[in-house]
Structure 1
């Protein structure tokens, strides 16, 4: 893993200064500077005062995950060329087309139906806005306007413009203006633009981050904010198939990420038709080098997520298409061992049946799996056979209640609490790791699971505990996720700071 995140400041000037500071530190014998060289296997000359800048640059490059300084520089050049700033300023009063495009499209910053309604209202007020802007015409799916502008100037299909400096096909793929837009109109515009030179692998680096948001990403949609705020394109599969037929690379890491949160796999089924997970990664891998995962690594990441979240059908699909289930994953565990750690019994059995090495016998993992499955007889047998196993499980997985609550496993929550796990422990619900982020009650509040929240409160859950990332109480989370019934449950039992206090109860994820 890189020691330095380029997302913090991917600018050459910043990294040059970092290299110069490192060079000075080595020359004066600073222990931290010397440690950094040792960590990156860069030799110190016999006389440290002669340490060259090139050695410091190599160290910084390796800390960022690159094999050399020139490769890091090439990456930064790509970022400068393809960067997409997701939250541009509103267009000026005279730029109706620009403001329409800004509101009509997914941005992965501030999305939602309110924006798209404002775009529809703006288009209704200015129906001719698409006449002189091919980008607005694409976002509005105005076939006649796109055809007329391309007939007059075919090069418009390849020209950047609008508030995001995208090319027209991108505005089409990311538009969420009209859920009822005719599929024929969408595909006709896509073909017109492709026939006039649009690139089916078009993509941009969101706020300079290294995983490209491509046309396929826009077509498949979704993401961390969910399908209501970041929905799929209304004709997701049809548009994606057209792009794939035109040559788009199916190993699209951002698509895989955005669509991994829910169990639906139609995107994977289509992408596998076109070679997902194999090959060299295409044009974006050549541009970004070490900063972008290989197709095989992308698929291993998908396998890990599917295991963690009990997406057995996805595991089956991945195995059917040859994803490696033998080698250790990024946490050092084999897939079957990861499934045991995540308390996914059915996935363990499936993987072992299909050739994965069985996890080593472990009473603690067995107890955790039995508790997560709310299998009281199995829990009793293990506790009787290994008197210390419950204490060992509490030490190994202190945040297990958070993991169970994120799964909505009410019976498991009760059983885990009976085993002595702290109902107010901090953990995380998106992976089975033990990062101390939030409580089980936060998870219940976010999901709106009233029965689970009541059960946790009865077990002694403290509604005033704030999470470690956003400093929000469960009530704050319920408000953020618009769980009104949960808000009504938690308001009477939550102590909120008075107005003007520096408390953070109302903060949100």
Structure 2
């Protein structure tokens, strides 16, 4: 196949078609079809439409790549959530297209960012995306298939892919990180992909590496110059904070050697940094609750506004220590007034420890007085309402945690508020047969 430049010219393609028609003594339509096929497009009109869109919008164009129409509706909701959280990159397109911060406004923004005049036009295009021949969509499929040879070939044919953006400003390097296949990221970096580039939420490839707990990718990106102190999805949402949100200790410990930003109490707790923890627990320390604008890694979690209340700051830090199994930090925080059963934002310390399989943290929290049957929240509002730690341990197949909880009086018959289901049923529905069978036997 021929190489299509990052900034293709429709006039040049038309001239090529005319020249080919004369040289080969074929009809112009035949020449146009050949050129379209040469570049991977099924027809000349498909190639023309693509080139017009790229020409009109240039580097700001977002390329559709996902074949599920509802995917774009979800991205619109996510974009709106980030804009409402005042994430700068997410707010800008609403201003650019003069759209209100509403669901319909977000859909118009997503359509316009993709080069379409309306949400309906974008939806119609997406329905035929699999047969469109568009390079970015093909590259995305290569990434999803974890096919380095296909990706390498496409980057050779379409060099502009390495800087092109997809929906919500996601590029191929960020997508590659989500697959967990470091070979894809290596290829893209070798072709010049920017490791510092974020999407409209500020999410960089390094954020993705910490979100997915990929230490090898982390090393690769740091070596390539990826920044460690950039915030995404709110003030203080650095890659380290994303790792600590999930208790991803492999990448958190590795990244902490490079940066501990933003250095607030929840970071100190998540890292188990006794010295920093002691310093920040001094009454009135200004850094303890600073830079806590980040509170969710995606819009599946509900909206929240962190407060400056020192009690909330301590209670939140307790759950961050639990996620990473930092038992000494748990003891220190409770000694300084943290409430062991506090549910600051979608989960107590015990439910977080349970879902992450942190047996030592579970034992420590129970020793410190945590209620084994405390009813609270977890995750998204359509998922974790009225749940106990045993529900979460069952859902995640944490057998050792289940045993500890039951030994300490966890109610096997507890029912959540949304599904009216027991921990055993949660294990069954979440395809954790070992957890289901263990709960049946207890």
TM-score bin, normalised by smaller chain: 0.5 to 0.7
Change (3 A) 1:218 1:276: same
Change (3 A) 1:309 1:420: same
Q: TM-score normalized by structure 1?
A: 0.47
Cα drift, residue 467 of structure 1 = 3.9
1:420-456 Cα shifts (integer Å, max 9, x gaps): 322122346679xxx9563211221123122321222
| Relative contact order, higher structure (CA 8 A, sep 6+) | 2
Question: In the alignment, is the contact (CA less than 8 A) between 2:182 and 2:217 conserved in 1?
Answer: no
Q: Distance in 2 between matches of 1:452 and 1:278?
A: 33
| Aligned: 1:193 with 2:140 | no
Q: Distance in 2 between matches of 1:318 and 1:417?
A: 30
1:465 aligned counterpart, secondary structure: coil
Question: In the alignment, is the contact (CA less than 8 A) between 1:427 and 1:439 conserved in 2?
Answer: yes
The alignment of Structure 1 onto Structure 2 pairs a total of residues equal to 312
2:188 aligned counterpart, secondary structure: helix
Given candidates 59, 62, 80, the residue that maps to 2:111 is 80
Question: In the alignment, is the contact (CA less than 8 A) between 1:423 and 1:456 conserved in 2?
Answer: yes
Cα drift, residue 234 of structure 1 = 7.2
Q: Distance in 2 between matches of 1:268 and 1:373?
A: 22
Counterpart mapping for 1:250-399 below 5 A = 250-252=197-199, 253=203, 255-256=205-206, 258-277=208-227, 300-311=237-248, 314-315=251-252, 318=255, 324-325=261-262, 335-339=263-267, 343-344=269-270, 346-349=272-275, 358-360=280-282, 373=326, 392-394=339-341, 399=348
Question: In the alignment, is the contact (CA less than 8 A) between 1:441 and 1:474 conserved in 2?
Answer: yes
Match of 1:214 in 2: 171
2:98 aligned counterpart, secondary structure: helix
Change (3 A) 1:491 1:255: farther
Q: Distance in 1 between matches of 2:237 and 2:386?
A: 25
Cα drift, residue 275 of structure 1 = 4.4
Q: Distance in 2 between matches of 1:215 and 1:337?
A: 34
1:187 aligned counterpart, secondary structure: helix
1:126-164 Cα shifts (integer Å, max 9, x gaps): xxxxxxxxxxxxxxxxxxxxxxxxxxxxxxxxxxx6338
| Aligned: 1:484 with 2:436 | no
Q: Distance in 1 between matches of 2:176 and 2:92?
A: 34
Question: In the alignment, is the contact (CA less than 8 A) between 1:218 and 1:233 conserved in 2?
Answer: no
1:299-335 Cα shifts (integer Å, max 9, x gaps): 734232333444456445545555743xxxxxxxxx3
Change (3 A) 1:459 1:166: farther
1:145-200 Cα shifts (integer Å, max 9, x gaps): xxxxxxxxxxxxxxxx6338673243234336866x5x455413321221xxx332
Cα drift, residue 466 of structure 1 = 4.0
Counterpart mapping for 1:121-140 below 5 A = none
Q: Distance in 1 between matches of 2:261 and 2:243?
A: 14
Long gaps (5+) in structure 2: 1-71, 100-104, 116-124, 284-309
Long gaps (5+) in structure 1: 1-5, 16-58, 85-97, 103-160, 206-210, 222-230, 280-292, 326-334, 494-509
Q: TM-score normalized by structure 2?
A: 0.52
Cα drift, residue 80 of structure 1 = 0.5
Cα drift, residue 484 of structure 1 = 1.4
| Aligned: 1:171 with 2:138 | yes
Cα drift, residue 82 of structure 1 = 4.6
2:166 aligned counterpart, secondary structure: strand
Question: In the alignment, is the contact (CA less than 8 A) between 2:182 and 2:216 conserved in 1?
Answer: no
| Aligned: 1:239 with 2:187 | yes
Change (3 A) 1:403 1:360: farther
Q: Distance in 2 between matches of 1:482 and 1:191?
A: 42
Q: Distance in 2 between matches of 1:411 and 1:199?
A: 47
Cα drift, residue 78 of structure 1 = 4.4
Q: Distance in 2 between matches of 1:448 and 1:80?
A: 41
2:428 aligned counterpart, secondary structure: helix
Change (3 A) 1:357 1:269: farther
Question: In the alignment, is the contact (CA less than 8 A) between 1:466 and 1:472 conserved in 2?
Answer: yes
| Aligned: 1:474 with 2:423 | yes
1:50-82 Cα shifts (integer Å, max 9, x gaps): xxxxxxxxx9x99x9858974452685541145
